[in-house]
Structure formats: C-alpha cells, structure tokens
Structure 1
Amino acid sequence: MSESLRQLLAGDQVLSVPGIYDGLSARLVEQAGFKAAFLSGACLSFARFGRPDMGIVSAAEVAETVAVIRERTPMPLIVDIDTGFGNALNVQRTVTTFERAGASALQMEDQLMPKRCGHMRGKQVISRQEMVGKIHAALDARHSDETLIFARTDALGVNGFDDALERAEHYLEAGADAIFVEAPANLEQMQIIGERLGSRTPLIHNLVEGGQSPVQSADELQALNYRIALFPASLLHLFIPAAQKLLAQLAHSGHLNELRNQMIDLATVNDLLGADELLAAGKKYQYE
C-alpha cells in the first residue's frame, strides 16, 4: 500500500517527483522506486497532442489521463490543473471530476486563461482576490481531506517578487496545502521564499531543463527548506533527442543495426508492463 501524499509530506526529506504523461511513463517512474509522480500539463500537451504548453488541453482530456494512470498504479499522483479550467465554479467541477478520476493533489495556478508555460514570457495573472476565491472553491469541492490543493503563483514574472510573496501568503491563508512560487529569478529569492514560508507549508519548485531555476537538484532544495522537487519534463527531454537519433538513422540507412544494442525488445516491454501477470489473472475465468 502506497503512503498517501499527506504522509509523504509529513516527513523531513525532499520528495523528488518526476513528470509523467501516460501509463507507460507512470509504470517506469513507479518501477524506479519513486514515491509519487506529477501529471504535467505541459508533457501531456507535448506527448499526446504535439503542442506547446499554452492551455490547449481540455479538462476532460486531463481527467481521462488521470483515470488511465490511476488504473495502472496506486502511487500518489499530483495533477497539474492549470488555472482550474475557468472561474471558481469551473474549478469546483474540475476538482470533483479529477478527484473521482484518482488525483491525489491538484496544482492550480493564478494565470489568466489561456495559460502558458511558467518559464515562457508573456504570461498574465488574475487578481489575488480572484485566485483566493478559486482556492476556497477548490477546498469546498473536494470530497476527502486527503485530496490536497496546491496553489501556484506566476506573478513573479509579471508583477515582481514582492507581489508573488504577498500572493503566496494569501494563498496559504486561504487554506492551500502547499505553495509554489514559479520561476524565482535567483538564489536569494529562493532563500527568502524558504525562510518566509518553508516552516509553515510544503514548498514546491520546478526543476526544468532549460528553465530559469537557480538550483538543479533536490539536495539544494532541501537546504533551502523546500519539500517537493518537480522534474516535470525530464523524461521527454531525454526521449525526444533519443527518438530523433533513431529516426535519423532509420531514414539514412533503412535499418537500426547501429542502435540495436541501445534498444530493448518486445519481450522485455511485455515483461516490464506485466504481461505474464495479466495472462495468469485471465486464467481464473477460463472454464471448460
């Protein structure tokens, strides 16, 4: 039985959480021994739809993915719900739907719809008051207190550091279970965030390859009083160049002989995904 996310956050170690986007990535993360995973809205947009992270994916499409992943693993799942997919009433429906699908925590941000990646320029944010209302709506809508609500502010890149800190304080006061100040510009800002908030709530940080993070590791976050280290796109950031290399080789030579020793085979994939266990389970229902 997996520990709940609330139990994991009650410990004293940083929780490293890889980003996933489908059943296969969830299986790989679970088998690697991680205790939680993050359904990244960006990676779902990248992998399933071939689109950038600019608010194109719908709530129904994310909820369907949550259900698929939950069918495959009991591992705690943090789900990126972008802006909550609308106003406070939309947020309530999103929370109800995603909780039913199997989300362990819902991460909501204060961007204006349609949102965009937190490390992209051109973001806009809603008012602090509107976001506080959406947090209250999310908390009222959840069926179980074990379903956590994480509040993210993108205001630092729009209105500056002081506004982001003020928003974080208000979001915590509104009842958010964790706080995420997106894209700090430097280490000093992260130190201030950790000192100001880290003893009162779990703090979240994105470790995005090519992003703006001043730190690169979970250990550095531990020292800064953060609790959740998200690696939202790392799997895809490695997969894409590997796939490009394979496709270039195939297009050039018509075979993959030079890459064969870097690949697994069908039997290994079936073993990884539990084909034998599935076949054994099916035998219970065979009658002569």
Structure 2
Amino acid sequence: MAQQNGVKPVTAVQKLRNMLADPDKIVVCPGVYDGYLARIALLEGADCLYMTGAGTTMAKLGMADMGVATMNDMRDNAAMIASISPTTPLIADADTGYGGTIMVGRTVTSYIRAGVAGLHLEDQVVTKRCGHLKGKQLVEEDEFVSRIRAATIARQQSGGDIVIIARTDALQSLGYDAAISRLKAAVEAGADAAFLEGINTREQAEQLIKELDGTPCLFNNVPGGVSPDFSVQEAKEIGYKIAIYPCLGIEVVYPAIKKACRQLFDGGKVESVEKDGKRWSPRELFEVCGLNESMEFDRQAGGSAYLTDA
C-alpha cells in the first residue's frame, strides 16, 4: 500500500484489530457474496464486510452449503470482494481450512495474499454443512486445535497478518462444556477471536462472554436458524465484539427476484422494482459499481473513451 506524505496508511487488517480493541465498538458485518452486494453495502456505510460461505456456494455454484465449495472458489471470491475497497476489512468464511494442517496453512496464506482481513476456521469434518442444519460431524478437539495452530504458523511465516477466528459447532452434539473447551484451546493455540455457532439463549451467550473474558466473540445472526435473532444493540449489550449477518443478501434477494419473475411470466412486465414511480436506469445501477470513478480514471490517464458523459 502506497505511503502518503510519508505516512503508511492503515491496512484493512489493522483497522479490524483496532475495531476489536475499541471498548465501545461492535463490528457489524453485512453478509455479501458478490461484488454487487458488496458495493451496495459499502455505499450504505458498511465499515466491515462478511463474505458468507453459504452465499458464495449458492451464488457461484448454484448449490446448497454442503461442503462443495473449494478453497479456490472461496479464495477467488474473497479476493474480488476485498479488492473493491482494499482499506475496508473483509471477514471471510474459510470453512474447515479444506484439508489437513498443510492445506489449512495454504488456505490462510492464500487469504492473506487475497487481502482478507479476518477468517474463521471450524471443527467440522471436511464434508461439512451449514452450521444451522442438523447432523453435523466434528473432528476431535486435538485436530481442531491443530488447524488453528497451523493457521497461526502460516500467518507468521507469510510476513502478513490476518485475524484468526476459531469457530466450533460442538454445542449441538457435544454440549456447552465441550464447546467452551474447544474455544479455550483454540485461543491458547493462537486464535484472536471465538465463534460459538448455534448459541441457544441470551443466558448462554452471556455465559460464553464471561468464560472467554478478554477474547473477542462473534455472533452469527441467522434468522430462522437455531439462535436468537439478536439485534446489533442486543449483541453489543451481551458483550459480543463482532456480529455477522450472512443471510442478509440471501434472504432479501430471493423474494424480490421471485416476485419479479412471476410478474414477468404472469403479466408480461416487471412492475415492482421501482423508486419514486420510476424504474432504475442502467446508468444509475452502473454508478453503484463505480461507473463515475472509472470514467474519471480514464480521463486522468489521458484516455479518450469517456471524454463525453456516458
């Protein structure tokens, strides 16, 4: 990153660490899975983004979140999203790390080089499933800890930085005590933050924060899942430092596109996607994705393609 006036700009990962260190801050991350959603979230004021693994699998592969996305699928999507605003932190799902310790190390290094500010690694088997589905299978605690240890070693050897978030799905099948044991062991191995998936009650969440005193904890808001639908304010009051909303885009896009398709197929015309009684023009939609900035860049470089307004 280029220096300005002799001062090195703060990197995205350092911004994320600063946010986590701020006692009055909760990091709120809208879930995005493509560049268009990321652009919209940024225009609306997001200061941190979350790349959802479920959304990436659905959007890029057209498949449910059943462990079918590869490291390359996830890394490439994360790199694209991170590149849109390189100084805005992006936290990205890294699933199980996609293999043994060597592969976990490769995944972490790849995410660092892709510009990702934070990632989470979980304790499911490689053929994983969404954390809010039943029947999840877990690796032993020692194997989970080895994944976290591999991540911290890879981070150190890379010469870069990334916030490592340890996620456990043990609550459903092994119980609260086993889940806490795994998170504490992961933090001891070098994880920066903890993520207990599938929290059941506010009391359980408060107990988590108490037991992991000093370790930033992440809340995963999945409406219709197994956890309470905490608002940002509620999550902050409980003591969470990060709140991710992975279904934000998935949930609202489905009914909107479904409705528009029904209007087209049943009535021959889309009527609903309007603002102030008018449809959105291509120009307005392209502006969401940096049309004006791209045209100005071309002009500054001496290009002639956009001397007249588009």
> Under a length normalisation based on structure 1, what TM-score does the superposition of the two structures give?
0.95
* SS in structure 2 of the partner of residue 123 of structure 1: coil
Residue segments in structure 1 that go unaligned for 5+ positions in a row: none
2:165 alignment partner, one of 150, 173, 181 = 150
- Aligned mates of 1:258, 1:17 — CA distance in 2: 28
Give 3-state SS (helix, strand or coil) of 2:121's partner.
strand
Offset at 1:145? 6.0
How far apart are the structure 1 equivalents of 2:100 and 2:92?
Answer: 18
How far residue 263 of structure 1 moved from its aligned partner, in angstroms, is: 4.5
User: What is the rounded CA distance, in whole Å, between the counterparts of 1:258 and 1:270 in structure 2?
Assistant: 20
Separation of aligned partners in 2, 1:226 and 1:17: 13
Aligned twin of 1:6 = 17
1:266 to 1:84, Cα distance in 2 relative to 1, 3 A: same
**Correspondence for 1:286 among 293, 303, 309:** 303
Q: Which residue pairs with 1:169 in the alignment?
A: 184
Q: What is the percentage of aligned positions where both structures have the same residue? A: 35
Aligned pair partner of 2:235 in 202, 209, 221: 221
Q: Does 1:22 align with 2:34?
A: yes
Other-structure match for 2:308: none
What corresponds to 2:78 in structure 1? 66
Q: Kindly tell me: are residues 129 and 258 of structure 1, through their superposed partners in 2, closer, same or farther at Cα, counting changes over 3 Å?
A: closer
Counterpart of 1:267 (choices 283, 288, 291) is 283
Q: Deviations over 1:70-96 (max 9, x none)?
A: 221121010100000011111001111
Residue type at the aligned position of 1:209: P
Candidates 32, 44, 52, aligned match of 2:64: 52
Question: Separation in 2 of the partners of 1:145 and 1:67?
Answer: 15
Task: Tell me the C-alpha RMSD between the 2 structures.
Answer: 1.6
Match of 1:137 among 126, 145, 150: 150
Q: How far does residue 264 in structure 1 lie from its aligned partner after superposition? A: 2.1
Contact 1:215 1:221 in 2 (8 A): no
Residue of structure 2 equivalent to 1:242: 256
Q: Is the 8 A contact 2:48 2:91 kept in 1?
A: yes
For residue 185 of structure 1, what is the aligned residue in structure 2? 200
Give the corresponding residue for 1:93: 106
CA contact (8 A) 1:180 1:203 kept: yes
The secondary structure found in structure 1 opposite 2:66 is coil
Residue 285 (structure 1) shift: 3.6
What secondary structure sits across from 1:229 in the alignment?
Answer: strand
Deviations 1:102-121 (A, max 9, x none): 11111100001111000000
Equivalent residue letter for 1:250:
L
| Distance 1:215-1:279 versus aligned 2 partners, 3 A rule | closer
Q: When the two structures are aligned, how many residues end up with a matched partner?
A: 286
Runs of 4+ in 1 over 6 A off after TM superposition: none
Q: Any idea what the Cα deviations from partners look like across 1:135-172, whole Å, max 9, x if unmatched?
A: 11101111256311110000001111111111111111
Which runs of 5 or more residues in structure 2 are unaligned?
1-8, 305-310
Taking the aligned partners of 2:44 and 2:183, their CA distance within structure 1 comes to: 33
Paired residue for 2:3? none
User: Take 1:9 and 1:259, find their aligned partners in 2: how far apart are those partners?
Assistant: 38
Residues 209, 234 of structure 1: 8 Å contact kept: no
How far apart are the structure 1 equivalents of 2:109 and 2:232? Answer: 32
Q: Normalization by structure 2: what TM-score?
A: 0.88
Cα deviation, 1:174-214, whole Å, max 9, x if unaligned, reads: 110000010012222112101111x3111001111111112
Q: For 2:160 and 2:236, how far apart are their aligned partners in 1? A: 26
Q: CA 1:250 to 1:111, structure 2 compared with 1: closer, same or farther past 3 Å?
A: same
- Residue 281 of structure 1 and its aligned partner are, at CA, apart by 1.2
